[in-house]
Structure 1
Amino acid sequence: MNTLATTSAIQAQQDIADEFAFFGDWTERYQYLIDLGKQLPPFPDEWKSEDYRVHGCQSMVWLIPSGDASNMHFDATSDSAIVSGLIALVLRVYSDRSAAEIVASEPAFIQEIGLAKHLSPTRSNGLVAMLAKLKAHAAAALEK
């Protein structure tokens, strides 16, 4: 598997689409999402503050940006197994990239793998809120 640093956001999205194509049904895809979420790096409890909370999500989600416009890194977690899997996908596409690439990259993988049709409205809203917050951090880094 390619590491984040060696692929573009576009390639990362294609890799995700290829992985999800292996699974025949959404039961398997949800299980894969849950497994991806379990692989997120540890997220210290002290980071779970209101300052980093993503509002608009039904579950609790925290997103912490670091780095600068040349290379932005994001740490994130959720109290929901499926949302943690969504976070793992989002971080694969957007973390450890330049702010310009983050702002310019649309999350096409969400439609491509069929996530848009298979998420509840509240999870979809939360995913949109998380992407908006992540892109806002990148846009702010570009303005500095």
Structure 2
Amino acid sequence: MAQDAFEDIVADFDFLEDWEDRYRYVIDLGKAMDPLPEALKVPATKVDGCASQVWLHPRPEKGTFYFDGESDAMIVRGLIAVLRALYNGTPMADLPKVDAKAELSRLSLEDNLSSQRSNGLRAMIERIREQAPA
């Protein structure tokens, strides 16, 4: 169910053997994202449960889910980029079918993030899943 962009990240992670290299790669993914406009950094887009400040702005287009995001922490910004690769382009009706935990386990992220970062990642996933149609 993962998008091609996420599969590219999985392949890159397989190539990078050292977790520190993977960590830098995730940070680089975040640096490559366009910044979220200040006007979208509002309480409605802020994600609670993250150690750093995080904003996710959904932008569904013609029944397909997309989102943009921002964080004041570089690694979290990178995690947003990973989630964008996983979710952007998913039909809205299929959002609940994405098994983010299973997909992200392919990257061993949970094993290499602090408990606070892992909790924040789960909070971001929950926020994304809330966008699914009822």
Structure 1 alignment gaps of length 5 or more: 1-7
Is 2:25 the counterpart of 1:37? no
Could you tell me how far apart the structure 2 residues matched to 1:64 and 1:84 are?
A: 13
Letter in 2 for 1:87: I
Structure 2 alignment gaps of length 5 or more: none
Q: Which residue of 2 aligns with 1:28?
A: 21
Could you tell me how far apart the structure 2 residues matched to 1:10 and 1:64 are?
A: 19
What is the percent sequence identity of the aligned residues? Answer: 38
Is 2:108 the counterpart of 1:134? no
Structure with bigger helix share is: 1
Q: Which residue of 2 aligns with 1:14?
A: 7
Match of 2:47 among 48, 51, 54: 54
Q: Which residue of 2 aligns with 1:101?
A: 94
TM-score, length of structure 1 as denominator length: 0.85
Tell me by how many angstroms 1:96 deviates.
2.5
| C-alpha RMSD of the superposition | 1.6
Task: Provide Cα deviations, 1:2-45, integer angstroms capped at 9, x if missing partner.
Answer: xxxxxx62544433221101112111011101100001122111
Could you tell me how far apart the structure 1 residues matched to 2:128 and 2:62 are?
A: 13
Is 2:66 the counterpart of 1:73? yes
TM-score, length of structure 2 as denominator length: 0.91
